Structure 1
Amino acid sequence: MPEIGLPPRRLRLISLAAAAALLLSGCVNAGGDEDSGAADAEAEPMTATSVPAGELAGAAEDYTEYYEQDIDWTSCEETMMCADVTVPMDWADPGAQTDLEIRIISSQSGGDQAEYLLTNPGGPGSSGYDAVADSLAIAFSEELVEHYNIIGFDPRGVHRSAPVNCLDDAEMDEYREQVSDEQLDAESSYAEARESAAELAARCESESGALLGHVDTLSAVRDMDVIRAVLGQDELNYLGFSYGTKLGMTYAEHYGERVGRFVLDGMLDVSIDAHELNKGQALGFEVALENYAQWCTEQATCPAGDTVDEVVDGVQELFAGVAENPAQGADGRTINVSTLVSGFITPMYSRASWPLLSEALTMALVQQDFTSFQYFADLQSGRSPDGSYGWINSFVFTAVMCLDYPMPQDPDQIEAEFEEVSEEAPTFGPYLGHRAVVCEEWPVQNVTEPWDPELSEVDELLMIGTTGDPATPVEWAENMHEQVPQSALIIREGEGHLAYRSGNSCVDQAVDGYLLGGDLAEGREDC
C-alpha cells in the first residue's frame, strides 16, 4: 500500500512520510463524491459457548470472559452513548499480555436498544468513533440512522483503543520536514535507510511496546466478533469503507456463519500483495489527475495549462521543483515534496474539492506560495495550527501493513519494484516509497498475508466500486466480485473515493434497500 515519501533514495526506500493513512482512508462524503489480505491462521467463530479449535484455541474460560462480559454504556457526545469492550491483546495467548479496551460509540442514546450496524471508515488507522460522533448525518442516510443503532469503533491501535504512538508533536514536525541527501550512492543510501527505519522502530517500540505485534487485521476482526457478542447479536450487520472492506472480508472469511447484511464500499482486493497494492493506487491517482486535468481545462482558467498533457506536465514539474528545492511555509516549517504531494492528493479524493485544488495550484505556480498544500497535508496528518497533533494515524498504518503483508528483503527487488511503479505512474510513482525497509527493521514480524477468499458460509454481501476512485481502483471491486460469486456488485460511474452518500441516488437506494429490507439484486449493477 503506498505511502507518500521523499524521492531521494534513502527516504523513498523507507517510505516515512506523513500521508501514510491517507490512501486507504474512507473520508466522509459531503455534498458530492468524496472519498481507503490477511489471514492464514485458522479462526473458527467464537461465542461464549463456542471456543475455536486449532492453533489459536485456548481453554473455554480464556474466551468466555470476553464473550460474556457486560458493558457499561455512558452518555457521550451530548446525544450518544459510549462503552469499552475488553479484548485480549494476544488472541493466541489470552492472559499473556494486558487486556485492551476497544472504545465503541452508539448513535442512539438508548445504547442497547434497536438493531445494530457496525461501521468502519478505513485507514488502517481511521477512527470509527469519530465517523459516528462527528459525521453521522453526513455519512449515513436518515433512514439508516432511524432504523439502526449505528456503532462506530476504534480498532485496536487506533486513537481511543490502545493507540500506537511513536513521536511527540515536535518530533512529528521534524519527521515530516525531513530532506534527504541527493548525493548518496546506492549502497550508502540503503544503509542510511535502514538506520532511519531502525530509529523510528525503536521509538515506536519504546512508546507502544508489545502492542505493535498485535494490531494486525485478523486480531481486529476477532475484536469485532466480541463486539457482536456483547451487543447480543447472533449475526453482525456491517458497513465498511475502504480498508474497512478488508476488515469485512476477513470477518466473512473466518466468521461466515455470523455474517448478516454486509456492505463493502471502496473494495480492497485482499488477494494482491503490497507491491500490487502500491502500484494499483499509484495508477489510480494518475487517472484521477488526468480526470482533474480534463475538468480544469474546461473551466474559464486552468492554472497549470490549456490541455490535459500540459496540466499533467505542470504538476510533474511542480513536484520535481520542490523535491530539488524545498519551500518554506509562512510559519517557517519546511515544505518538502512529501508535504506537497500529500497536500495535493487530499483534495483529489473528491470531485467537489477540485476547485480548492485549482486555487492551491494557482498560488503555488503564480506566487510560489505552498500554504494551501501545507494546510491540506496538516489536515491529513492531524496537525492543528497551534502545532499540536490530534490522532496521528500514520504509525498504526505502518504497524498494520508490516504485520499484514510480507515484504521483500532483497535491495535489488525493492529497487526494481519502486522503479516499476515510478515508470507506470510517472507523476505520483516517484514519490510513493517502498515499505520493505521499515518493515524489515520493525520490532515484530509479519503474521498474515494476502489470500484468495473462499466465503462458502456467506450467502450474500454487497460490494461497491467507483470508476474514478484513486485509492481503491474499480478493478479491485470487480476482481473481488468475481472471486465471491454470491456477492452483488454496484459500480458507481464518477470520480472520488467511495460511492455511498456521494450524491448518487442509485447507490444510496441500493445500499439502504439492502441494509433496511434485505433487497439485493444479483450480479452487477452500474449506477
Structure 2
Amino acid sequence: MPELHSRAARWTVPLIVAALGLSACAEPEDDAAGESTAETPPAAEDAPESAQDTQGDGEADERLADFYAQEPDWEDCAAAMHCTDITVPVDYDDPEGDPLEIALIADSVSPDDDFVLTNPGGPGESGVDMVGEQLNGVVSAEVREELNIVGFDPRGVHRSDGVECMTDEEMDAYREEEADPELNPDEEFAQAREQAEELGAQCADRTGELLGHVDTFSAARDMDIIRGALGQDELHYMGFSYGTKLGMAYAELFPDLVGRFALDAMMDVTNGAHDLTVAQAVGFEEALRGFAEWCAAEAECTIAETPDEVVEAVRQLFAQVDEQPVTVEPAGRTLNVSMLVSGFITPMYSPEGWEFLAEALTLALEEGDYYAFMFWADQQAGRAPSGEYEWMSSWAFRSVMCLDYSMASDQESIEAEFEELTERAPTFGPYLGHSGVLCAEWPHEPVSDGWEPGSIADQELPPMLMVGTTGDPATPVQWAESMHDAVPSSSLIVYEGEGHVAYRPGNDCVTDLVDAWLVDGELEEGRFAC
C-alpha cells in the first residue's frame, strides 16, 4: 500500500510500505480507469516484555483471566453477518489499566464448526471490511461452508479505536503538499525533523495512550484473547501479506496454541525496515517489467513499441509530474508525484489490473488526464469521493512500523539507503521516501525489530502452511522460501504466476491444498509447486 507525500517527503515517509500496506484485496475497481536493517536478530530476552510473560500459555497470567473468560455477544449486522466486540488491555504490562474494544465480524457462529481468524494485511487494513464485504472473493466456498470465518480490526485500526492524527481537510493538504525546490538537503532534513516532531505530538494528542501499544506483538496477544473468548483450544488462522507477520508473532508467543495456520504472501520476519523497502521496490520494478512486456505484445496497448520504451515512458511521466504537479478535474485537486506513484502501484498488484493501468497511462501521456491515478491514490489513502476519509489506515501503518522496527535516522545513513534504493530500483526508488526521521521523532520508542523464527519462543515452531508467488511485487517469493527454511516443520506452496496473494477462488491448485489444511487438517511436509 503506497504511502503519502509531505513537503519533505523523502525524509519522512516511505511510499512503498514494507508489507507495507500490503493487502489481500488490492486490485483496482472497474470504474477507476474511464527503514535500517537489524544487524543481529533479537534473542528471546530482547523481545518485548509482554511477549516474555506469555510464552506457551496466554491464560497463565491471572490478571488476564477475566479477558479470556469473555463470551461474545454476537449481534446480527450487515449482509447476514454477526458482529461483536472483545475487550483487551491497552497495555499488557498493566492489564488492569484502560481497556480497548476490538471489533469482530463472523460469517457464521455455529458451535459445531471451528472458528478461523483472518487478517488481510497492512498493517492498517480492516479485517471486518474484508469478511463483511469481500469474503466471497477471498475465501473458497468449502471454507465458508465448513468453518466460521472471523475478521477483526487490529488495535489502532478503524473500528478498534483507529489511530487519529489528522482531520479530513488536514489529510488532503498533507497529501497534496509539494516539496520546496529552493531548499538544500540540510534544510530539507531540518524541516523534516520539525514536521515529524509536530506530527508525532499531534498523533499522540489525538490518539492517546494506545499510540504506544499498536505494535505487532500486542496485536498478536489480542488474537489469543479472541481465541479464548471464542472457546477454541487452539487458534486457526489465515493471514495475508502483513497478516503473515502477525501470524508468525502469535506463533512465537503461543507456540503450543497454534492450530491450522495458512500464511499467504509471506513476509520475512528476520528483515529490518530497509530490507523490506528495498525488496518491495525491486519487486515493483520487476512487476513493471512484466507489465511492459505485456503491453509491448498487446495490439491495444499503444504506450510504446518495446518493453524498454514502456519503462522509459513511465519514468519520464514520473519525472514530469515531480517537476510540475498537475491539476486533476473535475475537483481541481493537485496530483503530485508521490500521489501519482501511489496510484500507479495500485493496479500493479495483480495482472488483472494491467489493462486498467495501460488505459490510465495512455490517457495521461496523450491527453494529460490523470483522473484514474488520483482515484487509485485516494483508494489507497481511504478517501471517499465525498472527501471523507473512512479511516486513515496509513497512520495505523506508520504507528505500527515505528514500534516494530529500528530505523536509520541520521542524515548520512538515510542518504546511503536512498542511494542503494535508487540504484536497485531506478523507476520507483527516487520516490519512495524514508520513515526514519518520522520514527525518530515519534512519541514512543520501538519495542521490537526483525527476529529469527523460534528465537522468542525458544523452541521450534509448529507446522504451518506458507504460500509465495513467483511474480509477487509486494512480498517476494524469496521471503516465503526463507521462512520455510527457518521453520523446518512448515510446508510451502510456490505459485508460478503474477500478483499479490495466491489463495483466491479459481486458483484451484493453491486453494485445494490450503482448504485441505484448513478444513481437514491435511498437511504434507515439503514444498509444492502450483
SS of equivalent to 2:166: coil
- Aligned-partner residue type, residue 467 of structure 1: T
Aligned to 1:54: none
Report which stretch shifted further, 129-138 or 298-307: 298-307
Aligned to 2:258: 259
Aligned to 2:33: none
- Pick from 504, 508, 514 the counterpart of residue 505 of structure 1: 508
- Pick from 487, 493, 496 the counterpart of residue 493 of structure 1: 496
Q: Is the 8 A contact 1:6 1:323 kept in 2?
A: no
Shift of 1:20: 8.9
- Pick from 34, 44, 59 the counterpart of residue 55 of structure 2: 44
Give percent identity, aligned residues only: 51
Aligned to 2:23: 25
Structure 2 regions of 5+ residues with no counterpart? 30-40
Q: Is the 8 A contact 2:251 2:258 kept in 1?
A: yes
TM-score normalised by length of structure 1 = 0.93
Shift of 1:47: 4.3
Counterpart Cα distance in 2 of 1:503 and 1:252? 30
Report which stretch shifted further, 380-389 or 150-159: 380-389
Aligned to 1:516: 519
Distance 1:335 1:120, change over 3 A: same
Q: Is the 8 A contact 2:18 2:280 kept in 1?
A: no
CA RMSD of aligned residues (A): 2.1
Q: Is the 8 A contact 2:493 2:527 kept in 1?
A: yes
Counterpart Cα distance in 2 of 1:445 and 1:246? 20
Shift of 1:129: 0.5
SS of equivalent to 2:157: coil
- Aligned-partner residue type, residue 472 of structure 2: D
Shift of 1:410: 2.1
Shift of 1:504: 2.1
Distance 1:21 1:172, change over 3 A: farther
SS of equivalent to 1:83: strand
SS of equivalent to 2:523: coil
Superposed, which structure 2 residues align to 1:169-188 within 5 Å?
169-188=168-187
Shift of 1:112: 4.9
Structure 1 regions of 5+ residues with no counterpart? 32-36, 52-59
Superposed, which structure 2 residues align to 1:416-435 within 5 Å?
416-435=416-435
Aligned to 1:473: 476
Shift of 1:503: 3.4
- Aligned-partner residue type, residue 354 of structure 2: W
Aligned to 2:32: none
SS of equivalent to 1:81: strand
SS of equivalent to 1:239: strand
Counterpart Cα distance in 1 of 2:476 and 2:220? 24
Counterpart Cα distance in 2 of 1:291 and 1:383? 29
Distance 1:503 1:287, change over 3 A: farther
Superposed, which structure 2 residues align to 1:128-277 within 5 Å?
128-277=127-276
| Matched residue count | 509
Within the alignment, does 1:371 sit opposite 2:371 as a pair?
A: yes
- Aligned-partner residue type, residue 286 of structure 2: V
Counterpart Cα distance in 2 of 1:195 and 1:7? 12
Q: Is the 8 A contact 1:236 1:258 kept in 2?
A: yes
TM-score normalised by length of structure 2 = 0.92
Counterpart Cα distance in 1 of 2:5 and 2:161? 30
Q: Is the 8 A contact 1:17 1:176 kept in 2?
A: no
Q: Is the 8 A contact 2:6 2:176 kept in 1?
A: no
Shift of 1:315: 0.4
- Aligned-partner residue type, residue 469 of structure 2: T
Shift of 1:240: 0.3
Shift of 1:46: 3.6
SS of equivalent to 1:92: coil
Aligned to 1:12: 10
Counterpart Cα distance in 1 of 2:27 and 2:379? 16
Shift of 1:7: 9.7
Aligned to 1:55: none
SS of equivalent to 2:261: strand
Counterpart Cα distance in 1 of 2:276 and 2:506? 28
